[in-house]
Structure 1
Amino acid sequence: MITLYHVPQSRSMRVLWLLNELEVEHRLVEMPFDGSLKTEEFFTRSPAGRVPALEIEGERMFESGAMVEYLCERFPERGMGRPPGAMDRMAWLVWVHFAETVSQHVAALTLQHIVLGDEASDAVCRFERARLRECYDAIEARLSTPVENRDYLLTGGYSAADICVGQAVYMARHFVRTDDCPELSAWFERITERQSYLDALPGPEASRMFQQDFYG
């Protein structure tokens, strides 16, 4: 049995989205966005008190990028990964981990707007929004590459790379619109039509970090 400890609207969403896409049985433990992550019990699952935390056959993982790589290797039949020697292997690794580049700027803006609130720094917010726009530009450039079937980040089609970057963009859109990036916007619409994504969204009773958007 796979157990995922999850907070809606956090990096754990990318692992939940992937589990849904892999169609593997799993148990979801939804954690509130509060001090329950900083308990001694949860530290045994994630030593930094962060989500996601993943339990699988008695072993525990606490880094989302590692979970994505491991799950794709563990369940290769769905084609979400790219094994060593595959045509798209290098690009798959780059884009899976590029999601963290996007997410670090999202995290900085979340700190400013959600945690600091009235004490937020306008200068920091402007800087982090500018960096997010640069990330959007990188994705737009990739999707604009004139190759056949460039509907997804990889030439070989939909993969966990789209899930990871898609989840990061899902979060980033709370702060920076994607209107000026037509290829990114079309790609995001394509991947978020999938049932695996819809099933990873917060339910009506879920605790949420974001109740509104914070456009600058």
Structure 2
Amino acid sequence: MATLHSIAGSRSFRVNWLLHELGVPVGIVPYAITDGSLQSPEFKTKSPARRVPALEIDGRVLYESGAIVQYLCETRSGHTLMPAIDSAERADWLQWLHYAETLGAGIQNLNMQHLFLPKDWMKSPTVMGIETKRLAIALKAVEAALQDGRDHLLTSGFSAADVMMGFTLESASRYVRFDGFPMTAAYLARLKAREAYQAAEAAEGPQQFYTQDFYDLPEG
């Protein structure tokens, strides 16, 4: 059994979800941002940056979500979650796999501003506005990719790139209204309806970050 060190609602959900798609048994070790558990010496040996996910599998520990997703696809067989190396879609798969973190960087900055800075004077409406606009711009690429009627990022169907992107879009929807991204909204709904997505949610428990469905920009 794989062991996933996880915070519910964090990037570790990508790994959790993919393991469920692959049918790999996984045990979840839960952490929280506020209880100091990420700072323990034991966890530091598993993740030098003291961040989740950290996945114990195949006699080693991996601690970067994109790398873990690609590693699992490359080392597990009997799935269609990754195009073959010589496939015409391989480059698109790799690009979407990592484009999820282009969105993720903006989300991380918005999380810091909206959720984790404890005092209002620490927060910058200017930074919030810039990062929200950047996130909306980045979302346009996803919306454009879905305009031809495809259900997923690749024309061949569901892949691990959708796993990387799905978690990101769920977080992005807290800061950018998806009314202007109807194809993206429908795509996210399809991903969340997958059996493995729902099983991963149940295994992980409620997310620990957001207390609101949407965070408006502050006035001023």
TM-score by length of 1: 0.93
Give 1:40's aligned residue.
41
- Pick from 121, 124, 134: which aligns with 1:121? 124
In structure 2, what is the Cα distance between the partners aligned to 1:206 and 1:182?
26
Report if aligned partners of 1:9, 1:202 keep a CA contact under 8 Å in 2: no
- In structure 2, what is the equivalent of residue 7 of structure 1? 7
Q: Would you say the 8 A contact 1:8–1:202 is kept in 2?
A: no
Kindly tell me the number of residue pairs found equivalent between the two proteins: 213
Q: Would the aligned equivalents of 1:33 and 1:207 in 2 still touch at CA under 8 Å? A: no
Deviation at 1:201, TM superposition (A): 2.6
Tell me by how many angstroms 1:50 deviates.
0.4
- TM-superposed CA distance for 1:76, in Å, is 3.0
Aligned-pair Cα RMSD in Å: 1.6
Other-structure match for 1:210: 210
Moved runs in structure 1, 4+ residues, more than 2 A?
Answer: 199-207
Give the secondary-structure state (helix, strand or coil) at the position aligned to 2:185.
Answer: helix
Distance in 1 (alpha carbons) for counterparts of 2:39 and 2:83: 35
In structure 2, do the counterparts of structure 1 residues 174 and 202 end up closer, same or farther at CA, with 3 Å as the change threshold?
Answer: farther
Identity fraction in percent: 40
| 1:20-169 equivalences in 2 (<5 Å) | 20-34=20-34, 35-117=36-118, 118=120, 119-144=122-147, 146=148, 150-169=150-169
Give the Å deviation of 1:202.
6.4
Query: Could you tell me which residue of structure 2 aligns to residue 186 of structure 1?
Result: 186
User: Deviation of residue 175 (structure 1)?
Assistant: 1.2
Structure 1 residues 165-174 or 76-85, which shifts more? 76-85
Query: Matches of 1:204 and 1:89 in 2, distance apart?
Result: 30
Describe the SS at the equivalent of 1:77.
coil
